[in-house]
Structure formats: C-alpha cells, structure tokens
Structure 1
C-alpha cells in the first residue's frame, strides 16, 4: 500500500508539467483552441488526471459511475466552437502528452497497467463525444413543452384570481385577489426567465452575472448555516478568494445540499469540501446512499427530464439550474458515484472574468 500511495503522489507531482505541455500542444494543433483561456481548456481534466494517477497505482475506476467525461463534452458543446472531431483530437493529444511526460520522468508501466490506462482514456473520449452530441441534439420543442407544463398551475391560479376580481366589489377582497394574481404572475415571469436562460446551448452575453470579490468559504458556511442540512453537514474548507455571483452561487450550493440530504441514507453525514488547483476551485458535496443508476447520470442534468425516483413527478430544474450557474461562471458540474458515496463537483475558475468577457465578445 505504501508503494501504491507513493506512485500516485509522484505522478501527481507531474500534473502541472503534463498540463503545460498539453495546453501548448492543443493551442498549436486543435482548431478553435488557440484563443481559449487555460481554465476553460482545462475544464474537468485536472480531476480526470487524478483518476488516471489512481488507475496507474492500481485502483479500479468505472466511468459508468461518473459524468466527468460527458460533462467535458457538454462544456465543449456549450462554451466553445468545437465539433466532434475536435473533442476527440484534444483528448488524443492528452493521451500522447501524458505518456510522453511520464516516460521522460522515468516511469514505466506493465502491459496490464498500460491497458487499463488506455481503456480509461478510450472511455473518456467516447463519453466526451456522447456528452457533446447529446448537448447539441437538445431540442427546443422540449423547452416549449416543459415551459407550458411547469407554468400551467401558476397561470391557472392567476386567472382564477382575476376572474374573482371581476365578480367582487369588496375593497379588502380586491386587494387580496390582486396581490395573489400579482404573486403568481411574478412567479411565472421568474420561471420563464430561468428556463429560457438554461435552454440556451451557449449562454448569451446578457446572462453573464455581475461578479463580486468573495471568500467562497464564507459563502459556503453561510449557505450551510441556513440549510435544512446544517446539522448533518461537515465542512472542510480553506479561504478561497475569487469572483462569483453571490446569489446564484449560493442558490446552487443550497440545491446541491438539499439534493444530498434527499438522496442520502437517513442520519448519514453530508460532506462539503473546497479545494483549489491551477487557478480553479472545486466544491464537492458528498452523501452516502444508493448510487444514481448509470443510465440516469447525464439525465439528471438535462432540462425538463421527468423524474421517476422516489415517486417524484413533474419537471425538475434544480440540478440543471446548478449546471447553468456553473456555466455562467465558466465552470462545470459533474457527479461521481463510487464505493457507496455520491459526490457532486461544482468546478469554476477562481477568476472567470476574462473568460466571460471573451465569451460575451464572441
């Protein structure tokens, strides 16, 4: 075990070297990549690199229990001008740079180790392409049908209030009904605005949030303290100063905590972790409980997929909203189910302003 841990740690020390070489190769050889900032290019790859180090050290990793690769492909579809060929090309370059850098550092692997690493890389390429295609194939008809379904109850309630307004002359009743109609109308407007923002494959410039200089640990602590999960949540975080939109990032964290509580084993802890790497920050929310079925992993992030777990009905937009917030910060959201634990990873640059400005200008 000591040897295995030592190998993993030594490979992790080469991470920055691998990514420096890969960024150079991608910008020189991959279409559309030369003008993209490093945090956007790196995306979920640093976390994927950790998995590769673990596999090289003997650990098993089943990509059917992770959305990292499909999320990478979805990010490329939503935030870049890539096509399918480009998605495959950059990951093939990653494979080449990875083995070259490790070999130059004196590492050699058995045929079995090489086969397992290549199998994981092949699976990542396949899943990235699948995620890319699924994102591009999202139909606007889904949005229209879901919007109608979701606002029907609110519209019906508002219409009933207006109908009653026409039938009464009592001033107090008029005020009550007018307030009720106004509330439902505001809710409809809010829902339509949220759905419309999330229906865009590439977020429009107008959706770019106004970022504030924040300590993300303080934001996390504040959300946890007000959450129904407060008594069950364990926080492991260091101060992380950067730029985020406080309201939307807070709502995203709250959604992830609520989701963790709903789908965890009764009484088990929920863990919230913040860690920094390479100009980015990863917020992980982990719960213990039944894993998400592999065939549902990507669906939980798709807009307006009718849910079936735990007897739910209707159109759920909580996790798609989290994805929207991540993208509005030039980041991503992924989920992993391993060893009885489910972890959602909200990953963003510490300072996404340059990326957002370039995206808006394009």
Structure 2
C-alpha cells in the first residue's frame, strides 16, 4: 500500500478537482493537505502487530484537516465529507487495479478509520468556523461602535444647545455617522446573501464611472490617506452606482491598509470590447499564492490581514458586486509589480444584472 501511495493521492486529487467545485482551483499543497499522512495511517492500521488500530488512532490528522479546510478554503461540511468518500473509493479502486488483496477485516478497518476521520474532520471544521464567526462579530462590534458613539455624542449636545447653527452642524455629523453605519450594514447583508447563493439586487442606472472614481478619491484624500491617483477617460455604462462606489471604496481602503506605507495607490478605468476594467493598484509585499483565494472568502483573512482591524468581508463584497454585474474580480500580485485588483464587468449591466454568483 505504501508503494502505491503516490498513485492513490494523484487519483484522489484528480477526482476531487473534477467532482468538487470548491476544490478545483486550490493550489496542490493546500488541496493535498494531510491526506498522504492519513493514507499512511490507514496502511499502518492494516499492518500486523503495528500499534495502530485505525487511521485516527492516537492521531489528530483528521481534525487538523478539517480545521485547515475551514481556514483556507471555501468548503462547506458536505464538500469535506465528499472528499473523504472519494478517498475511500480511490483506495479500493487502486487496490483492485494493482492486485493488492484486502480481507474483509481490512475493509472494515479502512471503513472505520475513514468514517471516524469524517466525524473528527467535520467537528473541527465546525469549531473553527464558529471561531471565525466570533472573531467577525467582535470586529463588527468594534467598527460599529465608533460611528454609534459619534452619533450619540452629537445628539446629546443637540439637546443642550439653543444655537441653531451649531445644532445643524452636529446634526450633520450625526447623520453622516448614521450613513456610515447604514453602509456597513448594507455591505454585510449583501455579502451574507451572496455567500448564501442569492443574487444581489442591483439598481442599474447610466453614469460615468470616473464620477465614482473622483468621489472615492476625494473621500480618501479628506481622510488624510495616501495620495490616490486616478486616471482614465470618460466611460459611461449601466451599473449599480451605490454598489460600485462601495466596491471601489473597499479596494482603495484595502490598498491603503496593506500597501507600502506612504506608497501611492492608483485607480484606473479602461474600456475594452464593451467591458469596463476598473483597477486599484498598490505597492508593497505581494499576497502569497496560497492565500490569494482566501482573501475573497467571507470571514477568512490572510496572516498579514489579521494584524489589522476589519471584518474580512470587504473583498468578498467586491466579488459579489462584480459577479452580480456579469463579470469578475481579478487579482495580480507580485513583489516587483505590486498588487492590482481589477473589477472586469460588461459596460451594459442591464443584460446581466442578477447573474449567478459563486456561493
């Protein structure tokens, strides 16, 4: 069995990539994970006089596998179970094709190890997901507390003032904070709907995307952020203005937060073949290949991102907006090129509004 391990793992990987959509684009090291070691444990459990009763006897391999699937992939528990079932099938197929005999006792031992492995992996998967959601709730509470406190303070002062001018100024600040909270909640609800397989409801209108770029650029400059350079000729199309504005704000915020300190952030808009390519670029450390899909998954954040405050839903929201417009979000990240995130969507969203999205 150990001599054909490479064959088992290769066939299993091929089956998983073909049968499971959430696994199709994972990098090889992330997909293979602890499966080779788990297979070794199965072989040991079948070896006479070897002190291992089943594949999970005295081992946390299955639990670690489930935990990593929760942290590093877009798996759900059904996908996790299915890949163990495919492993079972591949093992039996390879044993038959390679002429390796299995007794009834061997089959029972293999089944017991895989079945218990499924239970332990799913348990760890659920526990890590709960932890991620708790972390998300904590970040959400932290971010909402700021504008809520500002609103409360402004309203308390209004109650004590008779100066109409100052009352209007404070009321404007309170209203601005309320709009900020409303934007946060809208983004949260839209992203949660997207990850539940629903389509975003788009309010399509015709406008020049450069007006959105200018609005985001001014907002970033007012906050004292790095200089945001905008470029691009007028490009008019049919899109959801509020959703695209929020998406670009998220891309710029992400670039300012994780790019090189005091480095420039560049927004570009271009039109090719009746499509809009709206990109945000920053300099700085690249996003590792194995973490590039992770940044688009709800609640999941890269190692670098965990050092910053945030919900972990900004880029998933951008993906939801892009895909709901019938397009996509493209990432390019390299030490010498920097990092560029591009929203690539049709110019006329009326024919594609509410397109299917990846849950």
TM-score by length of 1: 0.49
- Greater relative contact order structure (CA < 8 Å, 6+ sep): 1
- Whose radius of gyration is greater, 1 or 2? 2
